[in-house]
Structure 1
Amino acid sequence: MMHWHIVCDFDGTITPTDVIDNILERFADPSWTDIEDQWLSGRIGSRECLSRQLALVQAYPAQLLDYFDSVRIDPHFPAFVDHVLNLGATMDIVSDGLEQGIARILSRHQIPLLPIIANGLRQVDQNRWRIVFPHASDACRAASGNCKCKSTPSGRRVLVIGDGKSDMCVAQTADFVFAKGRLAEHCAVNGIPFARFDSFAELPGLLASLPHSPSAAIVRLPLEHQELSHHV
């Protein structure tokens, strides 16, 4: 794995649910769902979507921290991180979510220190917030708050691990993808080399099927892990 760099999504991938969606469900005006529908239909990008949605949140800092401390992660993720780092791979958490929440959640689960590339949350007044996008790009094809393609290093083989719409663009340029949810459907329909997974417990075995040399071609995974048709 020493020639591989892993780009790992957070919400819905490391966590079973989406952290921002849960914040919105708890603390935002219900009109956030109308904005979500505009994003899902492709009428707006995620940057505009998140800006408008987070402006609807009313929550004190202690309320947000209490929520972050309640978030569960895949119980096999910590062992997976140790495994890939011991193999010599590099790994970033690259998310269109909130850096502060991701850092607190991972720290609470004793995850080794990993680079986190995500959006930022800024307090406007006692219980109002805005989101900032330090990793945005005007050239981003998905108009994302965090351009995941921009965060992908050159000169390394790239493995994307993700589950949803924010991962679709970077998946198209990756050498391989471990996918679940909507990302798996996208990879199947668009002919992107990938393996479907449900838990990080499966991934060490899938990693063993990847080539170790940067000049090697992607090997075929065992049949049970392949997605060979458009059927989901």
Structure 2
Amino acid sequence: MRRAGVLPLVLDWDGTVTETDTLHLVIAEFGDLAVFRALEAEIGRRMTLREVIACEMETVKAGRDEVVAWLLETVRVRPGFAELVAAHDPLIVSAGFHELIEPVLEREGVRARVVANRVVPDPAGWRAVFPEAASCPICGEACKRRSVEGLGPFAFVGDGVSDRCVSLAAEVVFARDGLARHLSGLGVDYRPFRDFDDVRMKLARSAAGRLPR
């Protein structure tokens, strides 16, 4: 349960909760890595993020059980995740898929609120299913901002491309990797983090009025 005086917390999943982006891992193991590398360069240029993810997932043709079993053996979450969820009841907002997120949460013994897409495993190529959403007036894509409407001021933790727009709407941002580089390039303030124990400590100090950088 979230404590009084602490901002609502929103987390990205891939590369934030998990130490490595699980979509990238699945495509590298079961899909076409050459297609992945070519398409990643098109994000925000000729293709939207959703279009790129859908095309990448079409290269995955293995069965769901095989992919999930491999994922559970391979994926690791950042230290302090369970404790952060227990303390703050965060909303997880992902550009990935429930079908690849929920098994990992179950393995970790964590119950959390998740907003994500769906994917339909198919031997002809996995099919991504995205909820209908209007394009964001800020970035022009169906981004994560829609999922945080009504939260009021919030803290956000992220790492990648799908986190760029929503992070600019946050009161406090914890960033690493690509998101940190992007925000630095824009001159936007953020707090780096190592793991979720780090985030939890800084949120506690934020509630006390002394958020460290």
TM over 0.5: yes
Cα offset for 1:187?
2.4
The total of aligned residue pairs comes to: 208
Return the structure number with greater helix share.
2
Tell whether the 8 Å contact from 2:39 to 2:52 is kept in structure 1 after alignment.
yes
Q: Which residue of 2 aligns with 1:152?
A: 148
Which of 38, 57, 77 is the aligned partner of 1:34? 38
Q: TM-score, normalised by structure 2?
A: 0.88
Q: Which runs of 5+ in 1 are unaligned?
A: 86-90, 213-218, 226-232
* CA distance 1:173–1:162, shift in 2 (3 Å): same
Q: TM-score, normalised by structure 1?
A: 0.81
> Where do 1:126-165 residues align within 5 Å?
126=123, 128-134=125-131, 136-139=133-136, 141-142=138-139, 147-154=143-150, 156-165=152-161
Q: Which residue of 1 aligns with 2:118?
A: 120
Code of the residue aligned with 1:202 in structure 2: it is: D
Cα RMSD of the aligned pairs, angstroms, is 2.1
Looking at structure 2, the residues matched to 155 and 54 of structure 1 have their Cα atoms a distance apart, in angstroms, of 31
Code of the residue aligned with 1:137 in structure 2: it is: A
Q: Which residue of 2 aligns with 1:97?
A: 96
- In the alignment, is residue 2 of structure 1 matched against residue 4 of structure 2? yes
Q: Which runs of 5+ in 2 are unaligned?
A: none
Looking at structure 2, the residues matched to 94 and 173 of structure 1 have their Cα atoms a distance apart, in angstroms, of 14
Tell whether the 8 Å contact from 1:160 to 1:178 is kept in structure 2 after alignment.
yes
Looking at structure 2, the residues matched to 129 and 20 of structure 1 have their Cα atoms a distance apart, in angstroms, of 12
Tell whether the 8 Å contact from 1:28 to 1:56 is kept in structure 2 after alignment.
yes
- In the alignment, is residue 11 of structure 1 matched against residue 14 of structure 2? yes
**Post-superposition CA distance 1:182-219 (Å, at most 9, x none):** 2122223323332111111211220123247xxxxxx5
Looking at structure 2, the residues matched to 167 and 210 of structure 1 have their Cα atoms a distance apart, in angstroms, of 22
Looking at structure 2, the residues matched to 50 and 136 of structure 1 have their Cα atoms a distance apart, in angstroms, of 16
* CA distance 1:69–1:56, shift in 2 (3 Å): same
Q: Which residue of 2 aligns with 1:207?
A: 203
* CA distance 1:99–1:45, shift in 2 (3 Å): same
Tell whether the 8 Å contact from 1:47 to 1:143 is kept in structure 2 after alignment.
no
